[in-house]
Every structure is written in structure tokens, then in C-alpha cells.
Amino acid sequence: MIILLGVHIEAAPGAKVQVGCWGAGRTDNACRCAAGPECALPCRPKNQPRGGTKGREARYCIIGYLKYFTLPICPCRKSSHIEMFCHTLLLALLLAVHCIMDCSLAFVTNTNIDRSSLLFLKSHITSDPLNFLRKNWTTETPVCNWIGVTCDSLNNRVTELNISYMQLVGTIPPEIGNLSCLVSLDMNDNFFYGPIPPSIFNISSIQAIHLRGNPLSSKLPNDMCMQSLHNLKTLRISFTKLYGEIPSSLGQCSSLEVLSLYNNSLVGEVPKEIGNLTLLTELYLGFNSLTGNIPKEIGYLNSLKSLNMASSGLNGLIPKEIGNMTALRRIYLDNNALSDVIPGEIGQLNNLEYVSIDSNKLTGPLPLAFFNMSHVKSISLRHNTLNGTLPREIGNMKSLQELYLINNTLTGVIPEEIGGLENLVALYMSSNNFIGHLPPVMFNMKSLTSLSLHKNALTGMSIQS
């Protein structure tokens, strides 16, 4: 018995069967194909039942012939539906064979495309001082064995390319975008220069792009994330020479978790569409030449843990919506032109550990809610124009290790509650207008190793025995 695509084909001993189907109610003489006697098979004896057809009075014959993709069928009276079934079976067989051949061809073709794409990359590298690629990326070696290359085990397609820290010098060719199954690209800390080929941003499978620390000079495509990159989770193009604006279409990379464009030459405003990236946990836009405000839409990033917009030329207010970012642990907004008061909503960030808003134009008093953050380890508000007093509630910050308030206009006495900060290591409050005596309890702070209080109006110290 031959089982083909779920259809049972039975043949008499010695008969040749290529493709067969059941016919019903036929005689031996009727079971003859127009193709000739070599394809005709004797019928089953009338009294011999088939499988579960015990006692059925019927004759079955099998007709098979496959040549030049034709299947002549005996003209069967009252059995056109069976002929149709046979033709359908043949069509399914041909489609299956075509699919297998097509897929096999595609497999070979795609593997060769991966190989040629990487060889294009190799040909654009002008210096390989460690000989990683020169000796390893050769046509005599399977591409999946090349250094820095990882393939999937099923199809042997390149899924990861990691050539970071290899001291490579060269450019990135557009053919790298032909790695259509690439999931992770890591070229960190080499010396690739020139533009970033837009084809990289058209790889729909890619989840991580790492190009940090290369002198790449390029713009980000205006339409990035509009057609592809819906699987992208990590985008790191920091410490390069990116210029132009941050495209608003970046907000359509809805799977992004880490976005780092740190230390480039980007200009323009932070697009409000960045608030669509609700899965972001890390956002680094610092050390650019941006303008405008911090968009209030940033408050939608309630999964964000680290925010760095330091030294970016931002101005305006710190949006109160920042209080919605309850997962935030680190916030760096120093060296900008942010003005007005510190929003009290920042006190809602109970997970915050590091706050740096140095060298801005902040005014007004320190909000009391600010001192509700019991997990804060470091606060730096140096070089602003903050006024008012240092509230007694500072004693609530039991985890505080560093406090930098240098060069403000704070007044009043230093509260004795500061002496209860048992983990405080560094206290810098010089160049303010503090008055009165230094609390004696401060001399019992065993953890304190750095203290700066000069350029204040402190009048002396009262030490009790």
C-alpha cells in the first residue's frame, strides 16, 4: 500500500503505480488508460472486500499515470466526481513538490545572500588589526562558523552579528540590510565612519541595534519605525556624530525598551511622540544640542527607570507630569536652562535613588514633598537660584549618601535633623546664606567624610559636652 497525502493507493503485485486513485463499478477491460496498458492495473475481484467494506458488491480499480504533468483518467460513466478528486489530488501533489523545491531553493538562496552581505561588509573594512575577519570570514568556512556570527539552528540564517570591540575601521555598506533574519546587530566601539545605511532600519526582524562609539556621521531616517522596526527593543547610537532632528516617527517603535542617542549633535525639540514609547525603561538623550521644553507627554513613560537629558540645551519648566513616572530611579537634567520651581509632584517618585538637576535656572523653595523620597541616595541641585530654608523633613531621607546644594540662595539655620542621616557621606552646602550655629549632632555623624560649608553666614558652633 502507498499512502500519498492521506490517500490510500493499492496495487496488484508487480504493477507499477506512480499516482493512483480509486474508481468504482468498473470491469477489468474498462480499467485501461488512454496512455497505454503500462499504466493500467487489474481490478480487485468482485468478491474481495476492501478494508472496512466487507460484503460490498463493488469493483475497484486503480489508475495511475504521471507523465509531463498530465494524468489521463479512464472515461468513467457515473463517476465524474472521482475523476475530479483524482485531478485535485494530482494538483495537491504538484503544489507540494513545487513548494519543497521552492523552499529548498529559497533556503540556499537566502543563505547565500547572508554570506554575500557579510562579505560586502568585510570588503568595506580597511583595517582589521586583530585579523578577526581577515582570517575567519572566508568562503571556505560555513558562514555560521564565522566569528561574531550566530545562526538559527533550523534554517542556518544569520540572526546575530556581534563584531564589537574589534578595532575595525571602515564603512557600513547598504547590503547589511539584506540580513533579513537579523535579530541583533552589535558593532559597538569600533571605528566605523560615514553614514548609517537606511537599510538597517528596514530589517523587520531586528530587535537590537548597537552602534555606540563609532564616528558615524548620519541622520536618522524621517520615516524610521513607520514601516519596519516594530520588533525593535534596543537602539543605542550614542557617542557618534549623529546630526539632524530626532524623528517623530520614532514614537512608532512601540516595542522599544532602551533608547540611547547620548552624546551626539542632534538638534531640534524632543518630539512629543516619545510619550508613545510606554515600554521604555531607559532613555538617554543627554549631551546633544536640543532646544525647547521637556514634553509633558514624557509622563506617560511609567515604566521608565533611567532618564538622562543632561547638557542638552533644554529650557522651560520641569513638567509636573514627571510625577507619574513612578518607576523612575535615576534622573539627570543637569546643565540645561530649566527654570521656575521644582514641581512638588516629584515627591511621588518613591523609587527614585539619584537626582541631578545641577546648573539650571531653578528658583523657589525646595518642595516639602521632595523629602518624602525615602530611597534617594544622591541629590545634586548645585548652581541654581533656589531659596527658602532647608526643611527639617530632610531627616526623612534615611538612605541619603550625598547632598549637593552648592551655590544657591538658601537661608535659615541648618536643621539638626540632618544629623540623623546615618548613611550621609558627602555634604556640600557652601555658597549659600545659611546662618546660626552648626548643629552639634553633626559631629556624631560617623559616616560623613566630606563637608563643605564655606561662604555662608554661620556664626559659630555650640558644642555641648
What is the residue-wise DSSP string for 113-130? Answer: HHHHHHHHHHHTEEE-TT
* CA nearest neighbour of 349 among 289, 317, 390, 306: 306
Question: Side-chain half-sphere of 310: how many Cα atoms within 13 Å?
Answer: 15
Give 417's contacts (C-beta < 8 A, 6+ positions apart): 392, 393, 394, 395
Determine the pLDDT at residue 363: 97
Q: What's the pTM?
A: 0.77
Give 136's contacts (C-beta < 8 A, 6+ positions apart): 146, 147
Determine the pLDDT at residue 94: 63
* Residue type (1 letter), 389: T
Q: Is CATH 3.80.10.10 the right assignment for the domain spanning 387-465?
A: yes
Q: Choose the CATH number for 105-374 among 3.30.1330.10, 3.80.10.10, 3.30.70.2200, 3.30.70.980.
A: 3.80.10.10
C-alpha cell, 407: 551655590
- CA 391 to chain CA centroid, Å, is 43
Per-residue pLDDT for the chain (465 aa), expressed as one digit of tens each?
A: 333 333 333 344 444 444 333 333 444 444 443 334 433 334 344 444 444 443 333 333 333 333 333 444 444 444 566 666 666 676 766 655 544 444 344 445 688 999 999 999 999 999 999 999 999 999 999 999 999 999 999 999 999 999 999 999 999 999 999 999 999 999 999 999 999 999 999 999 999 999 999 999 999 999 999 989 999 999 999 999 999 999 999 999 999 999 999 999 999 999 999 999 999 999 999 999 999 999 999 999 999 999 999 999 999 999 999 999 999 999 999 999 999 999 999 999 999 999 999 999 999 999 999 898 989 999 999 999 999 999 999 999 999 999 999 999 999 999 999 999 999 999 999 999 999 998 888 888 999 999 999 999 998 654 443
DSSP codes of every residue in 20-56 = --EEES--TTT--BTTBGGGB-PPPPTT---TT-TT-
Q: How far apart are CA 281 and CA 258, in angstroms?
A: 6
- Residues recorded for the chain: 465
Determine the pLDDT at residue 268: 97
Q: How far apart are CA 426 and CA 401, in angstroms?
A: 7
Determine the pLDDT at residue 460: 67
- Domain positions in the chain: 2-78, 105-374, 387-465
